[in-house]
Each structure stands twice: as C-alpha cells, then as structure tokens.
Structure 1
C-alpha cells in the first residue's frame, strides 16, 4: 500500500509588489497554520518516507514546519520545478517515478494543480484545497508506477478553517 499526502502551501504574503511570485513568503496566518497542521498530521500517525516540494518560497517555508515537527532529515527533501510550473499531469508523472521503497510521500505545492491532482487520484470530488489543506489518499498498490492508471481512497481531508473560526 502507498499513501500520498497532498499539502498546499500556507497562506502567503502579497504585501510587497516588488517580489516575484516564486519569492513570496508566508504571512502571519501562514506561520500560524503550518505548525498547527503539521502537528495535526503527526497526531494522525502519518509519517513521511519522502518529501517532494515546489521551489517556491512559500512552499519551502511550509515544508520547514513539517520537517521540524516530524524530525525529517532536511537533506532528503526533493525540490522539483515541475511541481511549481507544469500542472497536475506532470506532477502525476513525477509521482510515478518515485522509488517503491517510499511508502508515504508528502507533496507540497500549489493550486489549482493540487486540487486537480487530488480529484484525478480518487473518485471523490474536492472543490478546493485551501491553504495548508491536507488531503491524504491511500492506494492499494505496491508500485508508484501504478499511480498513472489507478485511483485511491480518501483517508482524510483537513484544513485550518476547520479549527480556526473567523473572528
């Protein structure tokens, strides 16, 4: 069995018009939500064998909170440009190339690609994965190559607004 944990980056800061999209950091809410969601995921006993991420600053900052919570070796983080630029089909192809020694993969990226990917990989429809949203999908196969033609089952869908109500 393989497990894919899709994690959208935390809320980003749009206040500086001089920085490019890829350089945008997390804002205050993003810095609150990321460690909270990392802890929540750990409490569900889902631990990464591999972390894949977009090179965007907001994704890398989100990853840091999860790496810290899970005591994951930072040197094993795999940063891939196609997660930022190429769309859900390219991401799915990337997933199909993962070494089968890895059973649980955390994938950090962006919308609309992550929501599209989640919907391609299961029979359930999710309208939107919000910032720091987590979609955990279990697959009944032993090789990541099968992700190209197989669908999984949703284990859980979590996001910060379930826990933090607007004031």
Structure 2
C-alpha cells in the first residue's frame, strides 16, 4: 500500500503584474495558509519518505512556511522543473518513477495538474473526491491511498481519497 499526498502551493502575490509567473512569491495570506498547513500535518502526524516539488518561488516558499510549523523535514525534498505547471499525465509519470522504498510521497505543485491527477487516480465513489472535483484551492492537501506495492503500478481509478485538508477549514 502506498500513500501519495498532493499539496497545491499557497496563495501567491500579484503585486507585480509584469513579474514572471515562475518568480511570483507568496502573499501574506499564502504564508499564513502554509504555516497553518504545516501545523495541521504535524498535529495529524502525517509524514513522508520523499517529496518532489516544483522549482517555482511560490512552491519553495510554501515549503518554507510548512517547515516553520511542522519542524525540520526528516525526508528529502527534490526540486524538479517538470512539476512546474505539469499536466496530470506528466505528474503521473513522476509518481510512477518515485523511489521503490518510499511508502509515503508528497508532490508540491500547481493546478490544474494536481487536481486532475487526484481525480484521475481515484474512483468516483466518495464525498472527498467530489470535493476535489469542485476545485482544489491554494494550500489544499489531498492524501490518496493506493493499493499497489510499487509506484510503477499506479493507475487511473486505483486510489481512494483518505484525507482532504483545506486551509479555510483549519483553526
């Protein structure tokens, strides 16, 4: 059994409309949400064996905010340019290439790819999945249980949404 967690980056700033999308930082609301999510992960004792993250500034800052309240990450974080604005197909290729010994993996990136991946990987049979279909807001986290022994075996409809954490529901 594998667990895949998808985390959308926190709310980014649009203060500089001419700035390159890749370089947009978090705004104050985004920093607050990232810290709240880190606290929620720590409280729920959710941990990871490995993380793959987009190289975009807002993703790096989201991870910084998480770590402030979660504590030191005891797992490696690999920044991968392919995650930046990746399609669900590209993200699935990344999932299938995760280290075999990792039981719990985290991918931190962007929509619409993350949302579509969550929908693709899960069966249309529960309320949490339906909430994901309604939209994955910034700083939202989806944890998917996958009944496979190896990441390469992950396929459409295999998983179940086990947890959906929305920052607006924390406090």
Q: TM-score, normalised by structure 1?
A: 0.91
Q: Distance in 2 between the 1:133 and 1:3 partners?
A: 16
Residue in 2 that maps onto 1:131: 138
> TM-score, normalized by length of structure 2?
0.89
Match of 1:66 in 2: 66
In structure 1, the partner of 2:165 is 158
1:90 aligns with 2:90: yes
Pairs aligned (count): 163
Q: CA deviation at 1:149?
A: 5.0
Aligned 1:48-127 pairs, distance under 5 A: 48-68=48-68, 69-72=70-73, 76-123=76-123, 124-125=129-130, 126=132, 127=134
Q: Which runs of 4+ in 1 moved over 3 A?
A: none
Give a deviation string over 1:67-109, Cα, whole Å, max 9, x none. Answer: 44241158x3111111114311011011101111111111100
* Higher alpha-carbon deviation: 39-48 or 90-99: 39-48
Aligned to 2:147: 140
Moved more, 61-70 or 134-143: 61-70
Contact 2:9–2:109 (8 Å) recurs in 1: yes
Structure 2 gap ranges (5+): 124-128
Tell me, yes or no, if structure 1 residue 46 matches structure 2 residue 46. Answer: yes
Deviation of the 1:66 alpha carbon: 2.7
RMSD: 1.6
Q: 1:73 to 1:44 in 2, by over 3 A?
A: closer
Q: 2 CA distance for matches of 1:148 and 1:67?
A: 31
Query: Residues 67 and 73 of structure 1 are in contact (CA less than 8 Å); yes or no, is this contact kept in structure 2?
Result: no
The 5-angstrom pairing of residues 6-21 of structure 1 reads 6-21=6-21
- Residue 18 of structure 1, CA deviation: 3.1
1:6-29 CA distance string (max 9 Å, x none): 000000000112320000000000
